[in-house]
Amino acid sequence: RDIVKMSIDAGSHQILAKVYYSGHAFSLHLEHTIQMEELFTMVRLNCNFPDAQVFTLKWMDDEGDPCTISSQLELSEALRLYRHNNETVLLFHIFLGIPVEPGLLCPGEHKLYRHGARRWYKLKRILRQIKKPKHPRIPIESGPILDSGDSQDSKQFHPRFCYNECNCILTMSPQIFKQNLKQLLLHIPPSFCLSNYRSYLVVTPYVLCKQTPIYTKYKQTSASSDQASPNAPGFGLKDFEMLKVIGRGSYAKVLLVKLKSTDKMYAMKVIKKELVTDEEDIDWVQTEKHVFETASNYPFLVGLHSCFQTPERLFFVIEYVNGGDLMFHMQRQRKLPEEHARFYAAEIVLALHFLHEKGIIYRDLKLDNVLLDSDGHIKLTDYGMCKEGIRKGVNTSTFCGTPNYIAPEILRGEDYDFSVDWWALGVLMFEMMAGRSPFDIVGMTDNPEQNTEDYLFQVILEKVIRIPRSLSVKASSVLKGFLNKIPVDRLGCNHESGFQDILDHQFFRTIDWDLLQSRQVVPPYKPNIEDDLGLDNFDKQFTQEPVQLTPTEATVIGKIDQADFEGFEYINPLLMTSDVAV
């Protein structure tokens, strides 16, 4: 999607413009008295538009309606309303060309939301009126070490697990810690010894500590230097060789990299800090990091190797899955045999159940986010839309998702839980077996009025889904089960037996779930991988891009609040304790 986001800096009387165009992102610092001609000129220069190129700029108002900016009066009114409403972000969409007639959509506008997931924050716009303190540190809750005189009954303390000098911090009350200590000890390898240091639990390798734990008093780290300190634990950009670009989104670029010390391939997700400035963006990074940590080493979820940062960027080093995504393969095969769809759906069921058991709603299941590894097993990726902390009796109501996969209860503005993931699985299974979306209507693409997001939502809410007659009775039954518009009646949504209902469904009756969980079932298709890189399964528009990280201006770096990213660094603990591939 081609987007310009503007946030008003009241202190400097400048506007930070975040510009996304054709898969690239850059920032502009504009005066609050910006003239329309100046704005258009800056956009033209940064997007490399020739002087003759005509483009349209649309502003999304507080009701979510697009309003064309074609005069200084309209631009000034947009700025005035966002100041008046105390909004932090002003959203524009850039389109090449102009509508054929006034009132019609711009060329490509109907595809705006379909090419990637985005969040809607209408509810948060209301809640934003309630002033809140600045967002805390990204990855963890931090706090002072308790002195001997502090009351542990009234304060939280921080058990700290140290693998060498790489720390993973958990926050819990003394009572909860005592209740779970035995369970925690089950996950500590026998070669590790246990020591208490004031209110901390410190775990260090016995061979190194000789019963004296290696421990340094916790200090807040600073992200003020490009490379990590020579004595600091963890990885840095210098430890990796950048090989290829393999993906790009609104916020991030994904690189194929090689860890120099092991020659092992990883994917590296790179995010510019200048694009992570408001509460929603920080929430997204925080959630993605937490879920990556939770997902690590589960067979059907992409796991996290490490995280590090520079003053300019955040880096997620994750598993490299080189078989391509289901969208890539579906574009070549159009639709899949039921047996193939059954296998992929069954592994997705296990991945979703794992997340649900951890209190996480995935909320972004789609063909693009289902990857195939070199053997043909699936792995879900991209956790930025996840919602944590869901359990029985605790729901959420955020309006978010990829439009074609959004469940009816979200569109109705109802509270929801894991039900939305089972709806999305039904949509995805329909696409795999029918070769089209369940919400496609003959002739819709030729009618501009039916190419809108609102019309799609109306179809999801009201249209009776017709199952193709070519599908078997079992396939038809499972699709009807997942695509039930009433959540309580949907397959998988019974709070007592939902997961078992899926396992026992006749469509999955041939699946040996124990063998599937252990990856002992042979996949129906093995991706064609000619070398270790497996770049044939990635879009050439990415892999042919130059591999480089463009420098950020010092003035831009100076405006980044590095405190937002303190403690971002992370290393998967298994890297410290075993040779398990992560």
CA–CA dist 567, 582 (Å, integer): 21
- Consult the annotation and say whether 272 binds a ligand: no
251 is in an annotated binding site: yes
| Element spanning 290, H or E | helix 279-295
Q: For residue 482, what are the CA distances in angstroms to 174, 323, 463, 491, 505? A: 43, 27, 15, 5, 11
Q: Is 5 annotated as a binding residue?
A: no
User: Does residue 20 contact residue 46 with C-beta atoms inside 8 Å?
Assistant: no
- What φ, ψ does residue 324 adopt, rounded to 5°? 85, 170
At residue 134, what are phi and psi to the nearest 5 degrees? Answer: -60, 145
Contact 377, 370 (CB under 8 A): no
Q: Is 474 annotated as a binding residue?
A: no
Please indicate if the annotation marks 246 as binding a ligand: yes
Write out the two tokens for 212: 């004296």
Catalytic residue among 364, 368, 373, 421: 364
Do residues 474 and 507 touch, judged by C-beta distance below 8 A?
A: yes
364 is catalytic: yes
Which residues face 454 on adjacent strands?
A: none
Q: In 3D, which of 382, 71, 136, 402 has the Cα closest to residue 279?
A: 136
Is 249 annotated in a binding site? The answer is: yes
Question: Is 4 in a helix, a strand, or coil?
Answer: strand
Q: Is 273 annotated as a binding residue?
A: yes
The dihedrals phi and psi of 234, each to the nearest 5 degrees, come to 100, -175
Annotated ligand binding at 323? The verdict is no
Joined together, the tokens standing for residue 101 give 């007639």
Q: Is 149 annotated as a binding residue?
A: no
248 is in an annotated binding site: yes
DSSP string, 243-305: EEEEEE-SSEEEEEEEETTTTEEEEEEEEEGGG--SHHHHHHHHHHHHHHHHHTT-TTBPPEE
Q: By CB neighbour count within 10 A (0-12 exposed, 13-18 middle, 19+ buried), where does 307 fall? A: buried
25 is in an annotated binding site: no
List binding-site positions for ATP.
246-254, 269, 273
Binding annotation: 246-254, 269, 273
Catalytic residues: 364
